[in-house]
Amino acid sequence: MAEKNLPIGVQSFQDLRDNDYLYVDKTKYIAQLLNGKVYFLSRPRRFGKSLFLSTLAAYFRGQKELFRGLYLEREEEVLSQQEKREAWQQYPVLYLDFARKEYKTKEDLLERLSLNLRSWEKTYGVSKITDSPEEQFAYLIEQIHEIHGKQVVVLIDEYDKPLYESLENEELNATYRSLLRGFYSVIKSLDAHIRFAFLTGITKFSKVSVFSGLNNLKDISLREDFSGICGITDEELKEIFTPYIDSFASKLKLSVAEAYVALKNQYDGYLFGAGGENVYNPFSLLNALDARALGKYWFATGTSSFLVNYLQRVHYFIPNLEGKVRLNSSRFDSYRADVSDPLPILYHTGYLTIKEYDSETDSYRLGFPNNEVRYSFFENLLAGYAPSYLSLGISVKDFLDAVRGDDVDAFMTILQSILASIPYDTASKEKIELRERDYQIAVYLVFALMGLFTQTEVQSATGRADCVVVTPKYVYIFEFKLWSTGTAEEALQQIKDLGYATQYAVSGKELILVGASFDEKKRNIGTWTTQRNEPRK
């Protein structure tokens, strides 16, 4: 039997079902939603929000034939009998997708609202009475209910896209907030005319009153029982994708077990809600199985450059993103439309995910979900800190070739080239420590990127080395003294005094200790010195 086509980029449930694409059945979640009325779901881009919303639209339009063989086909018959109602009832559906347009001006947003309003007027036979999007939206809902005798279903996809696209333009962002506040408030004021409403987005912007005003809104974004509503779970991967995994493993010359590990490390790790299920990034996973190659598929579709720029501008200590930051629950719920606090944005946009929940403090520990995000994000950050990194034609492989080839001088020379491209004026003279942090972070990013290909560590039993790199033949232990705080010789002595090399002494590998200092005048690595310890027999 031929494998079905993978639904890469398919966001229409009807298209997916009519053309017999592979479908991971998420319709059980629709059954869970039917006893409620107004919902909100936050997930990163390309995680399947649009497809789920399209599935909801098909259900409320009564398109029973599209659900043949799915969970909801059976469950709808059971529910309709329990609730003593007709199965597969048809409702008027107002579907608004903000993802289809870019929002650079107020007119762009007004045009998107106007186009949808005109379409609904034509579909349901309602006249236009006003140019006000908010008032016309309300009039439409009332009239559709009166004319057709059925309450209205409102589905809004990527409700916050205009807000995200204007984050760095406060005036335009305020205009969008004002327009959307009035438009979304209709959902609350016309509650009696609405059967069901579902909004998706990246996050809840607290300044948009749809969330402060809708007291019947259920936010399921962090709910354990909805953690698998978007994305692909381990169980789904193993039950549905077996032939694709076999092809993937064969192409990469891996065993099936090794293929699962590779896919898990690269694309799994997203957790939405304490106690929930981890999920794979569906866009990346489907692309990897289709191409039969590990790649940076999700990250390549568009990086939030303003996040990279912001982290650099405020000299954020990047190593903290490695699972060392915490967010209180209130910071998820009261998130404001600005970039002054990058952690909620990094979580909601998919660059960080939940690693652990502490019920005592009601806080979440966050970290990178997987290798695709971690290393792609670091690479973009390094290009931001050291603008010449890409133009110099330098790659992580150059560093790897140097350390694997026992060429410390080549490694340090390449590192010098990268650090030389860091702008000197990234901090004022009064903020020397912040400027030094830029150099620290650039060095950290180089070593972190090498971790994709070789083991890197930074911990020791009695102290903290700047970095340890383990290759098949060598263990490198680096210590950097910043500016005038010490010489290369003193850095090397610190490695020995604090016993950084002790735990590697019985590894059977040659230990290479590297001490380096920064030249304050040259604003770069000045000198370095090495010591070799032969492998212990």
Q: What's the rounded Cα separation, in Å, for the pair 117 and 137? A: 7
Q: What angle do CA 31, 32, 33 make, to 5 degrees?
A: 90
Q: What's the rounded Cα separation, in Å, for the pair 77 and 80? A: 5
DSSP 6: P
Instruction: Name the strand (E) or helix (H) holding 237.
Output: helix 234-240
pLDDT tier at 435 (50, 70, 90 boundaries)?
A: low
pTM of the model: 0.89
Write down the mean pLDDT value for the chain: 87
pLDDT over 90 at 514, yes or no: yes
Ramachandran sector of residue 52 (left: φ over 0; alpha: ψ -120 to 50; beta: rest): alpha
- Look-up of token digits 């390094």: 382
pLDDT over 90 at 220, yes or no: yes
Of 32-46, 184-198, 354-368, 407-421, the range with the lowest mean pLDDT is 407-421
β-sheet bridge partners, residue 123: none
Query: Residue 460's pLDDT is what?
Result: 46
Q: What's the rounded Cα separation, in Å, for the pair 197 and 412? A: 58
Q: For residue 344, what are the CA distances in angstroms to 108, 334, 387?
A: 27, 10, 27
Helix (H, G, I), strand (E, B) or coil at 218: strand
DSSP 469: E
Query: Residue 341's pLDDT is what?
Result: 72
For the chain, what percentages of helix, strand and coil (3-state, to nearest 5) are there?
Answer: 50, 15, 35
Q: What's the rounded Cα separation, in Å, for the pair 155 and 94? A: 6
Average pLDDT over residues 467-493: 86
Q: What is the CA radius of gyration of the chain?
A: 27
Asked if residue 478 lies in contact with residue 469, where contact means CB atoms within 8 angstroms, the answer is yes
Asked if residue 22 lies in contact with residue 7, where contact means CB atoms within 8 angstroms, the answer is yes
Strands of the sheet containing 325-328, edge to edge, are: 325-328, 363-367, 353-358
Percent of the chain with pLDDT over 70: 87
